[in-house]
Amino acid sequence: MPAGKRIVSGVMSDLVTLAEIEDAAGRLAGITVRTPLVPFPQPPDSPSLLVKPESLQPVGAFKLRGAYATISSLPEDERGRGVVTHSSGNHARAVAYTARAFGVRAVLVMPHTTPGVKVEACRALGAEVVYVEPTAEARAETAGRLAAAHGFTMIPPYDDPRVIAGQGTVGLEIVQDLPDVAVVLVPISGGGLISGVAAAVKALRPGARVIGVEPEFAADARDSLRQGRLVSWAAEETGRTIADALRVQRVGDLPFEHLRAHVDAIVTVTEEEIRATMRRLARETRLIAEPAGAVATAAYLHHRDELPEGDSYVAILSGGNVDPVLLQEVLR
């Protein structure tokens, strides 16, 4: 098999390359925030932990990177027909934000269980919201029908090389800002973020370890990596986690190939560990994390014995779009 090639859904497919990620970075210049690496207070004898707060992006999450990189690359006539996506919230908001920037129509297919704060933010950007049942099938099928009926361009939430390249700019920035990074901790939902981050990190610093993090109640990527095949969880199972942005029932086809090629391990965290980490991030680093945004830091704080050894760790805080009522409850 040619170098860099993998079989995805029965066809030959390229893994995303560093050159594609660098191209995406050029598209995002002046659009996304180059988020800093914020120190998390540690005892003097502990390795350093730095948090990369993607919550500081204009849409409150890393998803703007993939959405803008993809939509900006479309031919003008195709983009002008409008875009559609399916998302539990953050990707939808990123697509809405980008569509407004280009002056095009955006239709968002969202589970009816999506927190109101995320839906309201999408509508405030001028997007149209279509509610569906919280299953992967309902989301994808509805978005596909809308695209076919109206000529919209589908902007996938994670299973797309352009989206993965955009998310990979997070990893590019990590290595540029911390060239000797030892371990990078990344949340996993559909797999777009960890795919891009791992591709960038492994290309620039092959010795670094990339560790995925999932809630115990939505550990489909862990099971998939262990079994060497895609494993799906039922919506009823993943719906138990407080981390609404990580309730995808299985990782995408292309992200799974990136997991197998680049990711060293996956660890899981409990619901109470997520809540406790949200509190500590707010109190000790002054950073607001939604539940999904806290899982990578939770892995360091509560599962250090499961992580590779190293002098420097980076945890990606993927988003901060938390429902105010939930945040108040967690902080209390």
Positions annotated as catalytic residues are 63, 318
Pseudo-torsion of CA 297, 301, 303, 304, nearest 10°? 100
Q: Residue 268 contacts by C-beta under 8 Å, 6 or more apart in sequence?
A: 213, 214, 215, 216, 219, 222
Q: Are 66 and 91 in contact (CB under 8 A)?
A: yes
Q: Position of tokens 């920037």?
A: 101
Kindly give the residue spans of alpha helices, DSSP state H, lying in the chain.
18-28, 63-71, 76-80, 90-102, 116-124, 136-150, 161-177, 192-204, 220-227, 235-238, 253-262, 271-280, 291-302, 324-331
Rg of the chain in Å (alpha carbons): 18
Give the pairing of strands 48-53 and 153-154: unpaired
Q: Are 89 and 109 in contact (CB under 8 A)?
A: no
Give the pairing of strands 11-14 and 5-8: antiparallel
Q: What are the CA-CA distances from residue 311 to residues 21, 25, 80, 249 (Å)? A: 26, 28, 49, 34
Q: With left for phi above 0 and alpha for psi between -120 and 50, is residue 148 left, alpha or beta?
A: alpha
Token readout for 100 is 């407004």
Q: Are 303 and 269 in contact (CB under 8 A)?
A: yes
> Rounded CA gap, 69 and 265, in Å?
28
